[in-house]
Structure 1
Amino acid sequence: MKTQQLITAFSLLLGVYATPLAAQQPLNFTVKANEIKSAVSPNMWGIFFEDINLSADGGIYAELVKNRSFEFSMPLMGWSIPKEAANNGQVLIINRQTVNSANPRFARVTVPGTRSFALVNEGFRGMGIKAGEQYNFSVYARQQASTAVKLTLTLLDESGKAIGSTTIAPTGNSWEQYKGSFTASATVPKAKLQVQFSGPGVVDVDMISLFPQHTWKERPNGLRADLVQLLADLHPGFLRFPGGCIVEGRELSNRYQWKKTVGDVNERTVIMNRWNNEFAHRATPDYFQSFGLGFFEYFQLSEDIGASPLPILNCGMACQFNSSEVVAVNELDPYIQDALDLIEFANGDVNTTWGALRAKMGHPAPFNLKMMGVGNEQWGPQYVERYTIFAKVIKEKYPAIQLINSLGPGPDGDKFTFLNDTLRKLHADILDEHYYSSPEWFLKNASRYDSYDRKGPKIFAGEYAAHSKGVGNGDNKNSWQCALAEAAFMTGLERNTDVVVMASYAPLLAHVDGWQWAPDLIWFDNLRSYGTPNYYVQKLYANNKGSVVVPILKGNSVISGQDSVYASSVVDHTTGELVVKLVNTAATPIPVALVVQGVKLATNANLTILKSNDLQGLNSLDQPMHISPATQNIDIKGKTIRTNIAPWSFYVIRTKITK
């Protein structure tokens, strides 16, 4: 029996439906629209990006070739030699570590006769190819001993049929980049790229790359347009990058070092992705970071989607869940210098060292960096010791930069309490709270910030998501039950914007064939993508952010779970509208009457409804809009807005107001 049927039957036994709906007395709420409780931060609802679940390589970074520079731990990982070509030549991987430490390896292909040798790249769980799309190939190559090996690039569908091809003829014995383009004749979700070498001769190749022409804003080395569009549609206030535990690394040698992710793409150092074997149930040994999506691209993406950039930097501590490795305090200087240089890279004049690099990469104007995270999810006195040193140096040189500080991996317990007490005494700027828990936890904690110190540090709800089956396993789903609980919890975040200044769901992206962690906000395969019910909750909050919070009360109390209803209200000064958010977590409809004080209402309102009759309902690649918002108009009489909140639903009401 379905969940809805069970609950309906149980409710009938209890007599919930004994009174006809029309006869039920509405819940009366008062909205004091002329009483400003607090301002809403422009950064309030944002995005947390981490390279997990093939989010970067194989995801938003549009490169189709895996291990394009042969720098994975197994140099030919992702590449194969067709049986029919195996005896026609050979490939050697040459390591030139002393010559080029950032990109030491390249492939030397020898074709002794007139037949053809070939390498085939499998892509990231295949290559998503669209009919009629132009694909741009590039390679760095040089000929050996006056030979003239030609390269024929062919896209192959799942059956091995060619669906697009072009030929490149490298010349000379020095490294040069060669390019070619072709148009695909078919749509294929899991294509491969064959690079055929026709001799005789010897040729060296490196940085074998394939991009679609239509990336976000048509940029070379660009991003996957459909995924960026989903982010842009959120209208995020900030973009936090690059994580997450990626920042820390399993050990310090594997940490994220931003300076190795900027400059020429072919000079960025590839490293193992720390999520490749983190979870035994989703091991991904071919997961590496090419850093084609690096700090410059993160800043550029932030600017593109109108979000404030929020970089998080390593503070000399590796992941405490893994190695607990820390750098000695007297050796912190390089880590602190990285932070200072990043501010210069983002904001510095073009005549500064790092500002000049930003300009050389195509962005002479500053990125207007205003905030930065020191460490990710660290805890203990060793974190406080290092944060204190970072803060002193950064604030002395850049006092306007706001610093984000870790409160550890959870929202309570000894680790949290120690950091919360200590960092408050140190007058930290913004404290980063993380919570992954059950839907029930989110419902119970919607009033978490009602009693927080109004004069203490501000709060960043930096990572949160309701988990249906416990944390850290492969069974969690982006169910409507989880999204609804998050919607209820977020009324408490919005109601307390004098304390909570930023919030972001996490993680953001997941490839359906390459994920390590669930749930996630947006799912995709090689061709398609969709927003989860949780995505639409985030979108409704971010697109209806408002300028100031105004009280919404039942009697003299805030509405936070009474009668299964959660609520918050804001006024949008830009549009001159009152915005009320209502969440019904009950299995029955609830009539409400919103008496609005202090302003004059229009005669109608726009109502957006996000709901499902199935708490375990999901969106999918085949049904991407199964649970998605619907809009309608409702009439208003006098000072009262009346509506029936459907079972298990999230309502957003917008109406024009005048004083």
Structure 2
Amino acid sequence: MKNNIIAKIVLGGLLVSGIHGFAQKTTLEVNIDKTVTKIKPTMFGLFFEDINFAADGGLYAEMVKNRSFEFDKPLMGWDQPNTKRSSLNKQSGVATPIKELKNKTNTNFCRILINDPQGYAIINEGFRGMGVKKDAKYNLSLKAANHDGAIKKIIIQFIDKDKNVIGETNIVPTSDEWKNYSAQFVATQTEAKAKLKITFEGTGTIDLDMISVFPEDTWKNRKNGLRKDIVQLLYDMKPGFLRFPGGCIVEGRTLADRYQWKNSVGNVEDRKTMMNRWNVEFPSKQTPDYFQSFGLGFYEYFQLSEDIGATPLPILSCGMACQYNTGELAPIAELDPYVQDALDLIEFANGGVDTPWGKVRSDMGHPKPFNLKLIGVGNEQWGPDYIERYKVFEKAIKSKYPNITIVSGSGPSPDGEFFDYGMQELKKLNAELVDEHYYKSPQWFRENATRYDNYDRKGPKIFAGEYAAQSGSSGPNPRNKNNWECAFSEAAFMTGLERNAEVVNLCSYAPLMAHEEAWQWAPDMLWFNNLQVIGTANYYVQKLFSANKGTDLLTITKDGKALTGQNNLYASAVKDMNTKEVIVKLVNTATTAQEVTIDLKGSKLASKGTLITLTSPDLQDENTFTEPTKISPIESEYKLKGEKAQLSLPAYSVNILKLKME
């Protein structure tokens, strides 16, 4: 209670005094028949980056960490708890990583010598454990070469935190050459911190590689696919686009460790594992076990986009490593491979099966093109070096694929010298879409709802590609919470994005998701552990806007002026010509409820509609794993009397009014 009182006192100066807010009544006007502009289907979307264990250990449902022994320390994630010595002074067994130089992508395998099968096992710890659910089925696969038929059986078990067996299967290795094996087993109890134990019948030597376990129940039941619960939350947002694979991960700390999409397609076992850049990025949040298997690669990203109805937006390296790290540059004269990667990606996505990269896509199971329309050049680069390289990419892409829209970048900040220079130069080049990023305080978001009101309508369109209100400060700060103040402040800002749909064509919260125990950056829109995923208050704000974006922008005004924070009210209005609805979004950031009257002029409306409210009385409230829907939308029937809608907006609330057009 004390914290609530303090929070309200502090926010009083930022928002509005309780006495003044209590008396406030506002009348607004909406002209339903007058369309300001068409709203792009891509208006509200998703930004995915492999940060916070979002891919391996997260969206990608693989449960075995370092399945092919390719980490810098090849046995990381694998334990040998019982290597006791026998009476013959021999270890009960030993696992030794072997490097096979002729294989340039999957170079390592594990050679296991078993002297005493009763006392030797290898155990995989998973990604901060393995989440298994009672009665659920799990599919195991591995490669084995059984020297001289020494090992009669491989026993695979889930064990709980007390080492009790909670699921078991086995494989009989029949060949001394490499051979693929598979089996299925069922968990006998639910456990968030299970491990995978492998023991052996017989003594001698056996080689193992690509030891993998996936739940059978994946998104769309795809073999070795994605976590169903996470994708469901993404699907429910009805996103207009999916930007991938980042983010800073695109750039790399050096050019050598940039994301190269060609290494992420084809057979999964042939995709070369590499260290994730977030492994060492923050001294205070070191994650030495963070690598990329690329099991979730560009084919899977395109497939996911298609599954959730989102336009794919891949971002590629422009030949500049992260300028916060080395800032390494590919000389202009040596830029051709980077440009060719972009051209080849368009062919991979859209080319016929008779083209080299279109055939790769088809052979992976998708003969039909992915209908790529957007491509990004660079992530958060800035300065003359970026502009010089962007020109090269633009010329090459437009020459071969004139209908592809290119996304350029304005740097890491929404203002300052780098931003001003980038925007000035990109305007000169008639850039199509410029990506802007902002990680700022909740107050900044409330105060900048008018950011795009005066942008040149004939200039570049805007992609608000990364934004999130920070309750503490940017970076690996545990004080950055997904609290309610951050969420409703973002909603206030988003009314400004929607009101300026003539300029703003895409926008997305960032980052998308984080593992509860393995995050590098906060806040994040979704949080997950090995058994559960929750939508934050920020998620529900994004979902409300995305699922109710409409097709046509309308004006919503008070005394002829847009509502941009006057009396702590923010508003935008649209109509959806597909569902024949008028949709009004209202955000009240005041400490008390406010009475609002909306004069709806033009088309006749049905007397019954829907009111959706997202609110919480405490600025610091958050959704948690124990209270996952503490802040979530409440939907009720709304009755319209005449042409004026009367609403009482709760303090600190986001409200969506939906009325059918007759």
Normalising by the residue count of structure 1, what TM-score does the alignment of the two structures yield? Answer: 0.97
Q: Is the 8 A contact 1:111 1:200 kept in 2?
A: yes
Distance (whole Å) between structure 2 residues aligned to residue 11 and residue 64 of structure 1:
44
Give yes or no for contact 2:350–2:372 (8 Å, CA) kept in 1: yes
Residue of 575, 584, 589 corresponding to 1:580: 584
Aligned: 1:442 with 2:445: yes
The 1-side partners of 2:217 and 2:55 are apart by 17
Structure 2, unaligned runs of 5 or more = 86-90
Tell me, in whole angstroms, the C-alpha distance in 1 between the residues paired with 2:326 and 2:653: 44
In 1: Cα distance, 2:69 partner to 2:651 partner: 54
Contact 1:260 1:269 in 2 (8 A): yes
- Alignment of 1:67 with 2:71, yes or no, is no
Counterpart CA distance in 2 for 1:8 and 1:107 is 59
CA apart distance, 1:114: 5.6
Give the aligned partner of residue 275 of structure 1: 278
Report the CA distance between 1:455 and its aligned residue.
0.4
* 2:619 matched residue in structure 1: 615
Whole-Å Cα distance in 1 between the matches of residues 344 and 130 of structure 2? 37
Aligned to 1:106: 109
The whole-number CA distance in structure 1 between the counterparts of 2:464 and 2:249 is 19
Q: Which residue identity does 2:175 align to in structure 1? A: G
Do the aligned residues in 2 keep the contact of 1:567 with 1:583 (CA within 8 Å)?
yes
Amino acid at match of 2:633: P
Which residue is 2:559 aligned to?
555
Report how far residue 195 of structure 1 moved.
1.0
Q: Relative to structure 1, is the Cα distance of residues 333 and 10 closer, same or farther in structure 2, using a 3 angstrom cutoff?
A: closer
**Tell me, what secondary structure is at the counterpart of 2:61?**
coil
**What residue in structure 2 maps to residue 411 of structure 1?**
414
Task: Give SS of 1:340's match.
Answer: helix
Once residues 136 and 497 of structure 1 are traced to their aligned partners in structure 2, the CA distance between those partners, rounded to angstroms, is 47
Q: What is the alpha-carbon distance in structure 2 between the residues aligned to residue 382 and residue 277 of structure 1?
A: 26
Any idea what SS the aligned residue of 2:120 has? strand
3-state secondary structure, aligned to 2:508: strand
Output the CA distance in 1 between the equivalents of 2:138 and 2:605.
54
Q: In structure 2, how many angstroms separate the alpha carbons of the residues matched to 1:18 and 1:390?
A: 57
Letter of the structure 2 residue corresponding to residue 127 of structure 1: M
In the other structure, the counterpart of 1:83 is 82
Distance in 2 between residues matched to 1:42 and 1:353, nearest whole Å: 31
Q: What secondary structure does 2:414 align onto?
A: coil
Selected match of 1:312 from 312, 315, 324: 315
Shift of 1:52: 0.5
Mark the CA change 1:106 to 1:586 in structure 2 (over 3 Å): closer, same or farther. same
- Cα displacement (A) at 1:19: 9.4
What is the CA-CA distance between 1:2 and the residue it aligns to?
A: 3.9
Q: Provide the rounded CA distance (Å) in 2 between the counterparts of 1:8 and 1:343.
A: 52
- Indicate the residue corresponding to 1:284 in structure 2: 287
Give SS of 2:312's match. Answer: strand
Is the 2:550–2:576 Cα contact (8 Å) retained in structure 1?
yes
- Aligned pairs for 1:197-236 (under 5 A) are 197-236=200-239
Tell me, in whole angstroms, the C-alpha distance in 1 between the residues paired with 2:519 and 2:115: 42
Given the alignment, which residue of 567, 573, 578 partners 2:571? 567
The answer to whether structure 1 residue 118 and structure 2 residue 121 are counterparts is yes
Cα deviation digits, residues 258-301 of structure 1 (max 9, x gap): 01010111000000000012112221111000000000000000
SS class of match (2:485): helix
Q: CA deviation at 1:637?
A: 1.4
Q: What CA distance in whole angstroms lies between the structure 1 residues aligned with 2:20 and 2:38?
A: 42
Q: Matched residue of 1:603: which SS?
A: strand
Establish whether residue 347 from structure 1 lines up as the match of residue 346 from structure 2: no
Measured in 2, the distance between the counterparts of 1:629 and 1:315 equals 41
- 1:356 corresponds in structure 2 to 359
Given that residues 232 and 305 in structure 1 are in contact (C-alpha distance below 8 angstroms), is that contact kept between their aligned partners in structure 2?
yes
Query: In 2 relative to 1, CA 380–149 (structure 1 residues): closer, same or farther, beyond 3 Å?
Result: farther
Residues 3 and 614 in structure 1, CA contact (< 8 A), matched pair in contact too: no
Deviation at residue 88 of structure 1 after TM alignment: 1.2
2:546 alignment counterpart: 542
Q: Is residue 570–residue 578 contact of structure 1 (8 Å, CA) maintained in 2?
A: yes
- Structure 1 counterpart of 2:535: 531
Counterpart residue identity of residue 590, structure 2: A
Deviation at 1:198, TM superposition (A): 2.4
Whichever residue aligns with residue 59 of structure 1, its letter is G
Identity of counterpart residues, as a percentage?
53
CA distance in structure 1 between the partners assigned to 2:273 and 2:463 by the alignment = 31
* Paired letter, 1:491: T
Distance 1:187 1:413, change over 3 A: same
Structure 1 residues 12 and 406, CA gap change in structure 2 (3 angstroms) = closer
The structure 1 segments of at least 4 consecutive aligned residues displaced by more than 6 Å after TM superposition are 7-21
Partners of 2:31 and 2:454 lie apart in 1 by 21
Output the CA distance in 2 between the equivalents of 1:358 and 1:11: 53
Q: Does 1:261 align with 2:264?
A: yes
Residues 1:429 and 2:428 aligned together: no
What is the Cα deviation at residue 10 of structure 1?
A: 9.6
Task: State the shift of 1:656 in Å.
Answer: 1.1
Asked whether the 8 Å contact 2:21–2:592 carries over to 1, the reply is no
1:505 maps to 2:509: yes
Unaligned runs of at least 5 residues, structure 1: none
Q: Aligned partners of 2:337, 2:648: CA distance in 1, in Å?
A: 59
Check the 8 A contact 2:597/2:646 in 1, yes or no: yes
Deviation, 1:9, is: 7.8
- List per-residue Cα deviations over 1:111-136 (Å, max 9, x = no partner): 23564531100000000000000111
Paired residues of 1:248 and 1:256 also in contact (CA < 8 A): yes
| SS, match of residue 474 in structure 1 | coil
**Cα distance in structure 2, aligned partners of 1:197 and 1:104:** 24
* In 1, Cα distance between equivalents of 2:21 and 2:507: 41
Conserved 8 A contact 1:116-1:199:
no
Say whether the 8 Å CA contact 1:148–1:171 is kept in structure 2: no
**Does structure 2 conserve the Cα–Cα contact (< 8 Å) formed by 1:344 and 1:352?**
yes
**1:477 matches 2:481:** yes
Q: Secondary structure at the match of 2:338?
A: helix
Q: Counterpart in 2 of 1:55? A: 54
Give the SS at the match of 2:548.
Answer: coil
Task: Assess if the C-alpha contact under 8 Å between 1:38 and 1:497 holds in 2.
Answer: yes
Matched, 1:40 2:31: no
Distance 1:441 1:520 in 2: 18
* Structure 1 residue aligned with 2:459: 456
Could you tell me which amino acid in structure 1 is paired with residue 446 of structure 2?
L
Is 1:516 paired with 2:520? yes
Asked if the contact 2:117–2:200 (Cα under 8 Å) also holds between the matched residues in 1, the reply is: no
Partner of 2:88: none
User: Partners of 1:201 and 1:423 in 2: how far apart?
Assistant: 65
Which amino acid is the alignment partner of residue 195 of structure 2?
A: K
Displacement, 1:220? 1.2
Q: Deviations over 1:449-476 (max 9, x none)?
A: 0000000110000000000111112320
Q: For residue 136 of structure 1, what is the aligned residue in structure 2?
A: 139
Tell me the equivalent position of 1:171. Answer: 174
Give the alignment's Cα RMSD to 1 decimal.
1.8
User: Any idea what the Cα deviations from partners look like across 1:165-224, whole Å, max 9, x if unmatched?
Assistant: 111111222211100111110000000001112222211110000011101111112000
Listed one character per residue, the Cα deviations across residues 513-570 of structure 1 (whole Å, up to 9, x for unaligned) are: 0000000000011001100000000000001010010000011111100010000000
Paired amino acid for 1:43: T
- Per the alignment, do residues 25 and 150 of structure 1 end up closer, same or farther by CA in structure 2, a change over 3 Å counting? closer
- Matched to 2:261, the amino acid is W
